A and B are shown apart, each in its own frame.
Chain A
């Protein structure tokens, strides 16, 4: 499968725990985006990588959130001390500089 892959697909965690999600983009895509989608809403931008460099972060990304793309390939998104408000679908997308964005299946996080 050469599409965008996200793991895990679902994550249930207790409030206060840390969670980490992974995104494997399409291999030749140098741009990688993280978005968050809550129920009934469209996705909202969280952060963007060009190769290994994190070039933009949304104000939605509080200091409990951190994202990395260490080798310019896969990316991880970590949420520390999770809160119930973090419950959402976390979507990863990759693209070439001006090309079409391809999305993963998303990771659905539920904080209980």
Chain B
């Protein structure tokens, strides 16, 4: 079982829909990242959070440390939101390294 699990693996939505991507993890963490990856490979960091909720534009990320769960929400989705969304955690077990452990990603396609 992966230490970081995401659901769904694939998601197709119509433009304007509210989208939720979920992430569950099994290790103790110091921070959780939500990342966006477009075809071609480049990764953009969307959020880093360790508690509560953060909002940036149409994107909202929440985390529940007790339940070891995080969600990424996209409001009023748009075709340009189509990408792979990756959850990654900075594990306590990483020691001083602070390396990230990644989920396998959620492929989102928003259709016009």
Q: Do residues B42 and A56 form an inter-chain contact, with CB atoms below 8 A? A: no
Q: Do residues A105 and B41 form an inter-chain contact, with CB atoms below 8 A? A: yes
In angstroms, Cα B43 to Cα A35, docked, is: 12
Number of interface residues of B (CB under 8 A): 24
Q: Which of B48, B96, B99, B103 contacts A33 (CB 8 A)?
A: B99
Q: Does A41 contact B (CB under 8 A)?
A: yes
Contacting residues, chain A, for B97 (C-beta < 8 A): 48, 55-56
Number of interface residues of A (CB under 8 A): 29
Q: Which of B4, B40, B101, B103 contacts A105 (CB 8 A)?
A: B40
Q: Do residues A42 and B102 form an inter-chain contact, with CB atoms below 8 A? A: yes
**What's the minimum C-beta distance from B100 to chain A, rounded to whole angstroms?**
6
Q: Do residues B41 and A100 form an inter-chain contact, with CB atoms below 8 A? A: no
**What's the minimum C-beta distance from A101 to chain B, rounded to whole angstroms?**
6
Q: Which of B4, B45, B96, B99 contacts A45 (CB 8 A)?
A: B99
Q: Do residues A40 and B104 form an inter-chain contact, with CB atoms below 8 A? A: yes
Residue positions of B touching A, CB distance < 8 A = 4, 30-31, 33, 35, 40-45, 48, 86, 88, 96-105
List the 7 shortest-distance A-B pairs measured between CB atoms, nearest first: A42-B102, A106-B41, A103-B43, A105-B42, A100-B48, A45-B99, A42-B104
